[in-house]
Chains A and B, each alone.
Chain A
C-alpha cells in the first residue's frame, strides 16, 4: 500500500527503508531514558511531513510525551522489519500505522500487544470497521486514518463525470485506463463484485472469485497502465495521456485545487475505503504512552484537524465530528463505501496473487 504523494514508489520505498534503518540505528542515542517518549511509525514522505508539522507537536504540548517519528517504508516491508526486530526484543517503533492486511498478518505471530480499550474515551464512537480484533476478541489495532480510492477522470477528455465503476468496462474507453497493479492494493475484485455481483460477499466462495476474475479480465483491453507507482499515473492523468482510472481521492483533490484538469468521482457503487491502524509492537515497553497517544488521536477534534490538514477521512462516527458539511464532503461521501475484503489477502493470498498475475501478465 502506497500512501504518499508525488514521488515514485521505488525511490520512496528505498528511501523509506533507508530512513527506517537509519532511524533504528540512531534511536538509542536520541532518546534520553528519563523523558517520557514514544516512537511512532508513519508512512514516509507526505504523511510523515504532515504529522510532524501538525499533529505530533500538539500531542507533546498536551501530554508531555515526546514523539519521535519514524519513516515507515511502504508495502509489507515494515511488517517484516517489525517482526524480525521483535524476535530480537527490539521495537524500531512502539506504535506504527499499519495497513489492514499487514495488521492481520502480524496477528498470526502475536506481534501486536492487545490494546486496553477502556483507556480510550472515544472508543465507542469509532466506526466498527476501524477496529481490528484478534479471533478471540482482543483488540489488535485501532483505526488511525482512512482514505478513499475513487474513479478519477481528466476533465478535458471527459466533459461529463462518469457515475459508475462500470465505466471501466465500457468499450469506448479502450486503452484509456490507469489501474493499480496488485490485487491487494487496487481492490478491483471487490469493485467487480459490488458493481456486477451484488456485493463483496460474492467473493466468499472460490466459484465467486473465479467469476469476478472472469469479469475483471474484460477490463484488460481498456487498461493502458497497471501502476505500482502513483507519480506515474498522476502525471499521465493530469496531462490527459491516460484520462481515466482509479486513484486516491485526497491527492486528486489537491491536484484539482492546484488547477489541474482532473476530478475525483464517488461512483454510485461507492468509493473504495482503505485505512491504517495504530498497532503496538509486542517488543515495546511504552504501553501507557501508546494508549495515551491513541486516545489523543481518537478525539473528534484531532480527527477534524487531520481531515483539514492531512486530507484523511475520520475514523469516528460522523455525528460526533466538528467538521462542516463541506469539509466532510471534501474527505468523504455518504454513499455506502466498498470495504476491501482484507481477509482474502491473508487466507487466500497466494492463490489470488497467482491468478491476478496470470490475469494481467498473461
Chain B
C-alpha cells in the first residue's frame, strides 16, 4: 500500500477526534493551571483572578531549589537504575524461548496491577525491623539482630525502581526482540566476547531506544508522590509531595500551580536537552 500525503480537508478527519481529546484533556487543564498560577492567593480563604508573580517568587528560594534538585536527582537515578537492570534483563529474555518470554512478560504485567499504595506498604514491611528481610539474615546467622532499613534514601530508590521496572522492560522489549541477531553473530565471528559484543554492538545499536526509555522513566519517576513519603524521611520528599500539600491541605492552588508549572518546564527543558545532545551525536 502506498502512502499518499493528505490533500483535502476530509483526509484530515481521522485526526479530529484525537486532536479534540488532546485539547479537552490536556490543553484546557494545563492552560487553566498556568492561569491559576498567576492568581492572587488569599491566605484566609481562596484565590482571586489576578496577575501576580508572587507564587513564582516564593518558589525561587534556596529551600525549594534544594527540593527541586533532589526530585530531579532522584528521578535521574531511578531512570539509570531501571535501564541498568532492565536492559540486560530484556536482552537475555529475548534470547529465551517464546514460552519463557510469555511467562516473564505476564509476570511483569501483573506487577503493573499493583497500586503505588500496595507497593509502598509491601516494601515498608519488607524493610521493617519487626517483620523485614533482616530477620531472615539473622536466622541464617549473617546478622546479630534485625534492623530497620527504612526510612532511608535506599528504600525510596528501591521502591521507585521496582515500580518503574515493568514499564522499562515493556518499552525495551519490542526493540530488543526485533534486533537483528546477525549483528551479534558478526561481532562474535570477528572475535568479540559475548560481554564485549553486548556493550560494543547491541547497546550502541539501540541507543535511541535507551535514551527514550531513560526519558520515559525519568518523567514517570518525577511524579512520584507516595513512595518517598512511605519509605523516606522528610529530606527525601519530592516536589510532588509539597505540591500536594499546598493543593490539598493548604488550599493554596496558585502556589501549587506555580510549582507544577515550574516542574513541567524544568523537565521539558531536560528532555529537550537530552534529545538535542542525542541528535548532534547521531549526526557525527
A residues with a Cβ closer than 8 A to B are: 8, 10-11, 13, 75-77, 79-80, 83, 104-106, 108-109, 181-182, 184-185, 224-226, 228-229, 231-232, 235-236, 239-241, 346-350, 353-354, 357-358, 360-362
Contact = CB atoms under 8 A, between A and B. Distances in A.
B19 interface: no
Contact of A75 (B124, B129, B235, B248): B248
Contacts of A360: 234
Contacts of B235: 361-362
B131 A239 contact: yes
Contact of A229 (B41, B46, B128, B229): B229
B245 A13 contact: no
B37 to A, nearest CB: 15
Contact of B251 (A11, A105, A225, A226): A105
Contacts of A357: 63, 242, 245
Given A11-B117, A232-B230, A357-B242, A350 B45 contact: no
B115 interface: yes
A83 B46 contact: yes
Contacts of B102: none
B249 A182 contact: yes
A271 B124 CA distance: 30
A281 to B, nearest CB: 15
8 contacts: A10-B226, A75-B248, A80-B46, A236-B128, A239-B130, A241-B128, A347-B44, A349-B43
Contact of A350 (B129, B249, B250): B250
B134 interface: no
B148 A109 contact: no
A276 to B, nearest CB: 16
B250 A228 contact: no
Given A76-B249, A184-B249, A361-B237, A105 B117 contact: no
B193 interface: no
A105 B251 CA distance: 10
A354 B121 CA distance: 29
Q: Is the interface of A mostly helix, strand, loop or mixed?
A: helix
Contacts of A346: 43-45
A244 B63 CA distance: 30
Given A8-B117, A182-B245, A240-B130, A226 B44 contact: no
Contact of B249 (A10, A75, A240, A347): A75
A349 B250 contact: yes
Interface residues of B, number: 36
Interface string B116-142: 010001001000111100000000000
Nearest to B253: A80
Nearest to B242: A357
B120 to A, nearest CB: 8
A108 B249 contact: no
A347 B173 CA distance: 55
B115 A11 contact: yes
B251 A80 contact: yes
Nearest to A227: B229
B63 A358 contact: yes
Contacts of B124: 232
B44 A108 contact: yes
Contacts of A106: 45
B154 to A, nearest CB: 16
B90 interface: no
Interface string B239-263: 0001001001111110100000000
Nearest to B255: A350
B42 interface: yes
Contact of B46 (A105, A225, A228, A358): A105
A174 to B, nearest CB: 13
Contacts of B151: 224-225
B105 interface: no
Given A75-B249, A361-B67, A109 B128 contact: no
Interface string B139-178: 0000000001001000000000000000000000000000
Contacts of B43: 346-350
Given A8-B117, A104-B44, A105-B45, A350 B252 contact: yes
Contacts of A83: 46
A108 B230 contact: no
B234 A77 contact: no
Contact of A353 (B67, B128, B230, B250): B250
Interface in B52-67: 58, 63, 67
A232 B225 CA distance: 15
B129 to A, nearest CB: 6
Interface centre among B44, B115, B148 (most CB of A within 10 A): B44
A106 B42 CA distance: 12
B226 A108 contact: no
A153 to B, nearest CB: 16
Contact of B128 (A13, A239, A349): A239
Contacts of A229: 229-230
Contacts of A80: 46, 251, 253
Contacts of A241: 128-130, 148
A77 B252 CA distance: 11
Contacts of B131: 239
